[in-house]
Structure 1
């Protein structure tokens, strides 16, 4: 792993692609900083049945398990 990656997730359709990208990128970067819009949270709820939430639980809720190197920013 190396470096830091900043990821922005918008409210476009295709929430599963954001999930898969974050799961894969977490293997290669020391730190991922994620900014997720309210529309993206709504799309995740509609398409995946996932309530993302806030704070430290975001990665667990969205990705299915904790990822210590992923930080969700509000």
Structure 2
């Protein structure tokens, strides 16, 4: 999926009943490989908080891609 965030407040209200863990500031909780608490669901960029910068989002996007690829390979 693609999540778009602009500003300093995440647009994550639609996730509140999804089972995906959010932190106290309503950002998605992820581990260092961009994985959420639900298998196969990854998140990166502004929606996970931290420094809200394009360069961080791009780097996390690469990590999320590698994690997604590894996850999909494990399903084969």
With the length of structure 2 as denominator, give the TM-score of the two structures: 0.30
With the length of structure 1 as denominator, give the TM-score of the two structures: 0.31
Point out the structure with max Rg over C-alpha.
2
Structure 1 or 2: more strand by fraction: 1
Higher relative contact order (CA 8 A, sep 6+): 1
